[in-house]
Amino acid sequence: MSKNQAAGHFIFWDDAAIEKEMEVLPKALQEPYRWLKKFAREECGRDLDTLTTRAKLLGVTIDKTNWTRILKGRWKMDAEGNELPNPYVSVVNLLNAIMALQETKRVELLQGTSPFVETTTVQTIHRFILKRMRRDRINRMGVITGPTSTQKSASFKELAVRNPLVRHIESSDNGSLKDFFARLAVKCGAGRSISSGRARSKIYQCMEPEKGNPKCLIVDNSQDMVKLDRQQKAMGNNSEKQPFYQFLRMLSDETGCAIIESITPESEDYMFDPKSVYLEQFEARAGGRENFLRLANYPPKADLVMIAETWGMKDAKQHVELLVKLGHTRLRIRRFFEILQEAKDSADADGSALTADYLREAMTEAGLMEGAK
């Protein structure tokens, strides 16, 4: 750590700097500080006004000056790097502030203002990913396939919040590898104006093991990054040359990180074309298609009951058939949350508890009640 950095003249955003800053903090603050620094970096765009405003909305009274000191690694140091008798913000107050931001972040993960629910599907996804991250794992690549609205993205985001070794990123909507590099580099601590070459270097550095523990990169909707045969032919290439896959393979080989690809079922055949030598290699590194994690087309009954009970529906277990009907609509879990929230809003307006009657009313208004009991 440089003299200026030790003295806290600048805010450093890369993971290596965060690790060094953590070392001088009390044990209870170390992991929360890591989360805070990454939250400010990735969710607030390094803008301390944004961080201060978001915190104030939650009742946090820490001002911008103290947030700045904290994020410079100066929680208990003056501008010259001398330790102070007391920190600028007490351990308890800082922990409470970070916890408030964390809980709000989790609330945002699944459906706007709806609470995050750790369903059996979420647990299955997390176990699958953590298994690929084990030190002794031979095949470090994994594929999770499931229809849209089967809790994949929410599960990935929550795991990334909980586990500092996990990075989660959405594929570029236009399939641009340059755009992908730039956005992933930002999640690794780079500035938004970083060049493509420097972005690659930053990513490789970021995905190196931490204290011997492998990291993990989760790429959501990775089918958007794969070029179809007709696209390849138009560019004068063949389907064996897939720059995105080649990058992931090299990243895993050189850093030992786990790679998780999330795809939709209809994308599987063209993504893992048996005629493509390279794609076959990637499939093999995932242990073969039989070892892909395949999510059910619709949420399990237990998940639907758990979600409804989390929202306060006391009679959820007595109305499983109604919950299943709602959960098995075309839009699956997202539609389920939308209607459940409408029912909860109506119950709250009446000053009543959420019951199956309110859910039926919301489903009727949405045209979903034909044949339901």
- The tens digit of pLDDT for each residue in 337-371 reads 889 989 999 999 999 999 999 999 999 999 987 65
More confident site: 285 or 319: 319
**Residues with Cβ within 8 Å of residue 38, at least 6 apart in sequence:** 18, 164
The model carries a pTM of 0.73
pLDDT mean over 229-236: 49
* E-only strand ranges, the chain: 141-145, 166-170, 216-220, 258-263, 293-294
pLDDT surpasses 60 at 272: yes
User: Which pLDDT value is given to residue 230?
Assistant: 47
Query: Which string of b and e fits 85-106 if b means at least 16 CB within 10 Å?
Result: eebbbeeeebbebbebbbeebb
Q: Identify the CA nearest to 259 among candidates 127, 91, 132.
A: 132
Residue found under tokens 């044949």: 371
- The tens digit of pLDDT for each residue in 27-67 reads 999 999 999 998 898 888 888 998 999 898 888 899 999 99
Positive or negative torsion for Cα 247, 12, 208, 165 = negative
User: Which pLDDT value is given to residue 171?
Assistant: 93
Q: Tell how strand 293-294 and strand 166-170 pair up.
A: unpaired
Residues 5 and 17 sit within 8 Å (Cβ to Cβ) = yes
- The tens digit of pLDDT for each residue in 167-179 reads 999 999 888 999 9
- Give how far the C-alpha of residue 287 lies from the chain's centroid of Cα atoms, to the nearest Å: 24
